[in-house]
Structure 1
Amino acid sequence: MREVIARHGLSASKALGQNFLFDEQLLNRIAAIPGSLDGKAVLEVGPGPGGLTRALLRVGARVTAIEMDRRCLPALAELGEAFPGQLKVVEGDALALDHGALMGEPFAVLSNLPYNVGTALFTRWLSGANWPPQWTSLTLMFQLEVAQRIVAQPGSGAYGRLAVLAQWRSSAKLAMKVHRSAFTPPPKVMSAIVHVVPGAMPEGVSPAVLERVTEAAFGQRRKMLRQSLKGVQGAIEALDSLGIDPTRRAETLSVADFVAVARILGSQVA
């Protein structure tokens, strides 16, 4: 990969949130996290010069890679020639594209996400009204702090909206920590791989209602629920009916508690 970068005169763009990975052993470990990908469709966002892409192609994945940095396209084209029929490169902004339409079939997502769009893409994949989603798993690189927020448990300082979003109808685990020295250039912080698999959709719960409740509750997380949720019609009454003390704070409620509140509020609207 260092030879590829040198040959094409590439360097990581700070503006695009790029940090390149060269360690083939590490990249192979990342590609193995979801299990066998032989013959399976994979979506990769921000492949850059193609380090992870190469690892995915080696295990037989059919990769669709979305890249908005035109400088990287020639290096990716070389990869496509080396693995005929396995790689499709789409130039564009992943936030502006319809991933389901682009893939046209069930797909796994594996990506060393650009830091500046990682959380936005993650929440988009998790927020869809249609469930189960078209994606079969998400294996994503984040800053360690963000990864810890995704897998956080109630009562911890990292627990918040992101944890509820990731866990209310999916299972999320921190699969691997990655030292900053593994990247070029090294970021200022540690990174981690999060692996998410969709689960069963709780009955009678609207994603939009759950989002509204968690946004209000964690938007004022230092306040008691009776204060933070007072703007959500029926929320305090829902807490009372569930036996949840309104003097508690948001971080003390479990994911199941938030789901139960959203279910009651949804039934009232219906």
Structure 2
Amino acid sequence: MTDLPTLRESLEAHGLLARKSFGQHFLLDLNVTRKIVRLAGPFEGRAVIEVGPGPGGLTRALLESDLGRLVLVEKDPRFLPLLSELDDGDGRLAIVEGDALKVREADLVEGPAHLVSNLPYNVGTPLLIKWLTGPWTPLSLTLMFQKEVADRIVAAPGDEAYGRLAVISQATASARIVMHLPAAAFTPPPKVASAVVHLIPRPDRPPPELQKRLERVTAAAFGQRRKMLRSSLKPLGGGALCEAAGIDPDARAETIDIGGFLRLAATLGM
């Protein structure tokens, strides 16, 4: 990595600018990207998938780590030549042009792998749900989000940010914010601050059918979050469903913990 031009020099040489339509904001400070990699690791020779590497700021730091193989998934073809310059021929780096929402991760890596990404803002949430509830499960996820989204992922019952994303995320993984970054850390700077969330999928996470019911319950409950559950969950059984799950029908969604929502989802299937 030391023989390469700086990220800014590489961007200028290739005439590249961030595309707003892709939600791109580049992280060019290698001190910051190295810290993110330290928070994500150690990888102990395991594979890592990075989505939306852009000019490769995080990629450079990952290639300095103890990973075994790094697979980049980049939708914007403008960055492919620049990313190819990071390949030193040792066989560790693979570059895939594609939409991360559509690729099959199991086709990209053999065996377990970690996910480390500065996610494009416009697809961060759907990608997280895909990785937490889909057929392929990563070893860990260390992901950059807008601070507002990060707060929603780790929120606790009673918090203003507590909602569907918190319930689904925490029912399937342990989650904590490990780093905050101001808008000025990015090029171009976004309008909001960002945060890195580290998630580890739970070995006892709900099976797929229960996850589907959990999504139905949380959609109804938080779709009308100011109403009592007997009203918001009326299409799914209302008060009777709540009582069968041991939940107060007069409670509101933001006061119910993860276990309560899992009981509601389990009861819905009976």
The normalised TM-score by structure 1 is: 0.93
Q: Secondary structure at the match of 1:79?
A: coil
Q: Distance in 1 between matches of 2:204 and 2:172?
A: 5
What is the identity percentage for the equivalent residue pairs of Structure 1 and Structure 2? 51
Gaps of 5+ in 2: 1-6
1:258 corresponds to: 261
| Alpha-carbon offset, residue 203 of structure 1 | 6.6
Q: Distance in 2 between matches of 1:93 and 1:241?
A: 42
| Alpha-carbon offset, residue 243 of structure 1 | 3.6
Q: Secondary structure at the match of 1:174?
A: strand
1:172 corresponds to: 175
TM alignment of 1:12-51, pairs within 5 A: 12-51=18-57
2:232 corresponds to: 228
Q: Distance in 1 between matches of 2:169 and 2:146?
A: 16
For residues 94-123 of structure 1, the C-alpha deviation after alignment (integer angstroms, 9 at most, x for no partner) is: 111111222232110000000111111011
How many residue pairs get aligned? The number is: 262
TM alignment of 1:44-63, pairs within 5 A: 44-61=50-67, 62-63=69-70
1:200 corresponds to: 203
Runs of 4+ more than 4 Å apart: 202-205
Gaps of 5+ in 1: none
For residues 193-223 of structure 1, the C-alpha deviation after alignment (integer angstroms, 9 at most, x for no partner) is: 0110011325787111111111110111111
Task: Decide whether the 8 Å contact of 1:156 with 1:251 is kept in 2.
Answer: yes
Task: Decide whether the 8 Å contact of 1:57 with 1:83 is kept in 2.
Answer: no
Shift in CA distance, 200/39, structure 1 to aligned 2, threshold 3 Å: closer
Moved more, 167-176 or 193-202: 193-202
1:240 corresponds to: 243
Q: Say which of 51, 60, 80 aligns to 1:73.
A: 80
The normalised TM-score by structure 2 is: 0.93
Q: Distance in 1 between matches of 2:206 and 2:35?
A: 36
2:120 corresponds to: 114
Q: Which amino acid aligns with 2:77?
A: R
1:152 corresponds to: 155
Q: Distance in 1 between matches of 2:182 and 2:10?
A: 23
Q: Secondary structure at the match of 2:236?
A: coil
Superposition RMSD in Å: 1.5
Task: Decide whether the 8 Å contact of 1:213 with 1:229 is kept in 2.
Answer: yes
Q: Which amino acid aligns with 2:116?
A: L
Q: Distance in 2 between matches of 1:39 and 1:2?
A: 30
Q: Distance in 1 between matches of 2:161 and 2:137?
A: 29
